[in-house]
Amino acid sequence: MEHTVIEQTITIHAPVQKVWQVFTDPAVTREMGGYYETDWKPGSAFAFRDAAGSKRINGLLLACEPQQLIRHNLLEPDNETVLSEITYTFREQDEYTVLTGREVMTQPLDPVAFEDAAAGWEFALKAVKDLAEKR
């Protein structure tokens, strides 16, 4: 089996604007231990920095539709090689938001790395849920 796509969905008991803020408002995002560095315009640089300011991910913002979609790629740390493309979709449903994260790798991961990456996605989406629901 080729390990190239991770997709996870979580239901968050919060309106979509609160979930959106977890991604786009640096004051809120910092509560998760870092912040996104971008101007939220497609084609712009996109990075996530930890609380100390160290860059954890690097890429380009490919699409941004407020309260609906964020799509960016991930680049190798020292060059422009694309490792994967990540898409977040936000769908409001009654008083809930359904958040889906999807990562498509350019190369298959070995089974252990794939399971680690999937566990990381589960952890990250749970952190978004926890933060959005407490706001």
- Amino acid 77: pLDDT: 82
Q: Which CATH number fits domain 5-134: 3.40.50.80, 3.40.50.10800, 3.30.530.20, 2.60.40.10?
A: 3.30.530.20
The set of residues, in sequence order, having a beta carbon less than 8 Å from that of 17 and lying 6+ positions away, is 67
Q: What's the rounded Cα separation, in Å, for the pair 82 and 76?
A: 6
pLDDT attached to residue 31: 94
pLDDT at residue 1, rounded to an integer: 56
Res 34: pLDDT: 93
Whether residue 42 contacts residue 26, with contact meaning beta carbons closer than 8 Å, is answered with no
**Nearest residue to 57 (alpha-carbon basis) of 79, 76, 80:** 76
- 71: phi then psi, degrees, rounded to nearest 5: -130, 130
Q: What is the pLDDT along the chain (135 residues), one digit of tens a residue?
A: 589 999 999 999 999 999 999 999 999 999 999 999 999 999 999 999 999 999 989 999 999 999 999 999 999 887 889 999 999 999 999 999 999 999 999 999 999 999 999 999 999 999 999 999 998
Angle separating helix axes 16-24 and 111-134, nearest 10 degrees: 120
Position 135 scores a pLDDT of 85
Q: Which residues pair with 82 in a beta bridge?
A: 75
Domain residue ranges in the chain: 5-134
CB atoms within 10 A of CB 116: 12
Report pLDDT for 12. 98
| Contacts for 13 with CB less than 8 Å, ≥ 6 apart | 95, 96, 133
